[in-house]
Structure 1
Amino acid sequence: MQLTVLEKTVEAEDVVSLLLARPDGGRLPDWEPGAHVDLTLGSGATRQYSLCGDRWDAHRYRVAVLREPDGRGGSAFVHDELGVGAPVVLGGPRNHFALVPSPRYLFVAGGIGITPLLPMIAQAALVGAEWELLYGGRRRASMAFLDELAVHGDRVRIVPEDEAGLLPLGDVVGTPRHDTAVYCCGPAPLLAAIERTVVDSGWEPHRLRTERFTADDLTAPVRRAPFELELARSRTTVTVPLHVSVLEAARRAGATTLSSCERGTCGTCETTVLAGVPDHRDSILTDHERAAGDCMFPCVSRAAGDRLVLDL
């Protein structure tokens, strides 16, 4: 689906938001808090951005983009070249960071990680749940959407690192609560820190849900030998060598699976598993979802056994 940039707004140092709509003003697909979209830009790059606007606005999407000097060029294109009226191509929405019902929420954001949490906060407020937000960044000027968050008063705690140091996770997480869901999005060091804090504080592991912008370091695959891959729709069977991804092997066999990041973070290539046991190596699925074994991300995940059948 093609969209058009309606507005481009500077939200903080090195952060701009884009307001997107269909050229004909038509309705956009519904979405829920935590969802992201794939945007194919005029440069040809496809990137994933969390939806951070009003989910009840059926005609406009909002995303925010952080300029990443060491990135692959997508953010630089958005900041420097993408203007109002420019076309972008939409994929999605998809949601691997869904907000589960809970009487109480603790939201923790680092930098641009605030974006998927904004609609979650709106949803929590809408249903009358208790919630609080801990939001950190390098400095106040680099932290986006502070004005929007200010209306929530003392439910929001802003912690610029140059003023107050690192986020006080131990103080905020504190004693385990069985009525609280913890949602965290931000850079890898923050996610590692909150995972340690939750475990050390005695929380039930499933209380914490995180979303990563970068992939975990890949460990060695469970099976260090070739395996058979069957594409059920085309009734094709191929052998996947050790150093070829399932995604690439499927494409060589004629499958047309979409992909974007090819690092196990975006979810674009999610594929249904019909038989066999996946070796999950992505940074998306929860332990419960991995145990179910009914889907996988073939850009990084492989087979744990000698045969895998996918709905391709």
Structure 2
Amino acid sequence: MHIQHDETDLRLSVASRHDVAEGVVALELRDAAGEALPAWSAGAHIDLNLAPGMTRQYSLCGDPADRSTWRIGVLLEKQGRGGSRFVHDKLEEGCLIAARGPRNHFVLDPAASYVFIAGGIGITPILPMVAAAADQGAEWELHYGGRTLETMAFRDQLSQGEHAARVHLYPQDTSGLLDLKAILGTPRGDTLVYCCGPEPLLRAVEQQCEEWPAGALRVERFAAVDQGTPVREEAFEVMLAASGITLTVPPGRSILEVVNDAGVEVDSSCAEGICGTCETAVLDGEIDHRDSLLSPDERAANDVMFICVSRAACPRITIDL
């Protein structure tokens, strides 16, 4: 598992706000005290504590070399849970906001060549990846789909730059869906595929990459994948090695809930297995991984788990808390 950056609790101010597409606003965020922001790398995201009980994750989509400013892009989800509506309606220039991060479970690994695929607001983590690949001198291509050209954020930045020939835009109303068979139909041994977007796109890309070398595809999801019935539906024990206590996790409760009730504080955010905040080292026992972050190889390693959703696949496990 990739080691994430050390996370920091921050107080940020909204330095600027711009509409970058129909329904998408970009915010430039600065440290409220004028300090340099923590370092980050392409693929990282941060938590914004928008209101009590309303913490949301947003990908950083600016320049990692600029330690003075972070940029995020936020799509207004009219049928969402209220986070994007809060950003669009409430966060104006000068507003202060609590944040935590950065965190990266979508790391851009070295490769000779990359295929980047983005759907809608999924372009945000891909933007700094494209810049990093160009800086590395790697071969790369970007395939970016959206409902219409007007809804595709940062399209001008991508299509008018020096690398515009490598960027392919697919507004669905005029170009149809991305032709994934043409893009991914021939596996390439020296190429990594990075994809972020809505679930139907991710599933289609996963299917198209089944013949690619193991580990070639990396995806980041906006929502948790249904993991089905737990391997073990009955209660199990979890030993907290650092705390020296053993707790019982009953059916219907998460390890995170039980640990917090016991007074052991664990940082958490999404409670869905998609943000990575509650990543915990596993010292002993078999895990029923129920997150939407780990790759098959990372699951098989059995050395970390996300305790907001994952459970024991045996009567007793030991974790490093």
TM-score normalised according to structure 2 size: 0.94
Q: Is 2:57 the counterpart of 1:48?
A: yes
Partners of 1:91 and 1:307 in 2: CA distance: 32
- Give CA deviations for 1:51-71 in whole Å, capped at 9, x if unaligned: 000000011111111111111
1:70-81 to 2 correspondences below 5 Å: 70-81=79-90
Partners of 2:118 and 2:285 in 1: CA distance: 37
In the other structure, the counterpart of 2:185 is: 174
In the other structure, the counterpart of 2:126 is: 117
Q: 1:69 aligns with which of 67, 70, 78?
A: 78
Q: Is 2:175 the counterpart of 1:164?
A: yes
Offset of 1:42 from its aligned partner? 4.3
1:5-84 to 2 correspondences below 5 Å: 5-42=14-51, 45-84=54-93
In the other structure, the counterpart of 2:213 is: 204
**Number of residue equivalences:** 310
In the other structure, the counterpart of 1:251 is: 260
In the other structure, the counterpart of 2:150 is: 141
* Structure 1 segments of 4+ aligned residues over 2 angstroms from their partners: none
In the other structure, the counterpart of 1:195 is: 206
Offset of 1:178 from its aligned partner? 0.3
Offset of 1:44 from its aligned partner? 5.1
Tell whether the 8 Å contact from 1:223 to 1:304 is kept in structure 2 after alignment. yes
- Give CA deviations for 1:130-179 in whole Å, capped at 9, x if unaligned: 00000000001000001110112220000000001111000111211101
Tell whether the 8 Å contact from 1:43 to 1:77 is kept in structure 2 after alignment. no
Offset of 1:218 from its aligned partner? 2.5
Offset of 1:43 from its aligned partner? 5.8
Offset of 1:233 from its aligned partner? 2.4
SS at match of 2:127: helix
SS at match of 1:52: coil
- Give CA deviations for 1:274-312 in whole Å, capped at 9, x if unaligned: 221211010001111111111111111000111111222
- Give CA deviations for 1:190-226 in whole Å, capped at 9, x if unaligned: 0000111111xx2113111100001101311111211
Amino acid paired to 1:36: H
Residues 188 and 168 from structure 1, CA distance in 2 versus in 1: closer, same or farther, beyond 3 angstroms?
Answer: same
Partners of 1:235 and 1:72 in 2: CA distance: 38
SS at match of 1:16: strand
Partners of 1:99 and 1:52 in 2: CA distance: 14
Partners of 2:208 and 2:53 in 1: CA distance: 40
Partners of 2:58 and 2:137 in 1: CA distance: 27
Residues 44 and 87 from structure 1, CA distance in 2 versus in 1: closer, same or farther, beyond 3 angstroms?
Answer: farther
Offset of 1:36 from its aligned partner? 0.6
1:196-275 to 2 correspondences below 5 Å: 196-199=207-210, 202-275=211-284
Amino acid paired to 2:189: H
Q: Is 2:285 the counterpart of 1:276?
A: yes
Amino acid paired to 1:38: D
**Superposition CA RMSD, Å:** 1.0
Q: Give me the identity figure in percent.
A: 55
Tell whether the 8 Å contact from 1:133 to 1:156 is kept in structure 2 after alignment. yes
SS at match of 2:47: strand
Partners of 1:19 and 1:37 in 2: CA distance: 13
SS at match of 2:215: helix
SS at match of 1:157: strand
Offset of 1:24 from its aligned partner? 2.2
SS at match of 2:174: helix
Tell whether the 8 Å contact from 1:236 to 1:253 is kept in structure 2 after alignment. no
Amino acid paired to 2:255: V
Q: Structure 1 regions of 5+ residues with no counterpart? A: none
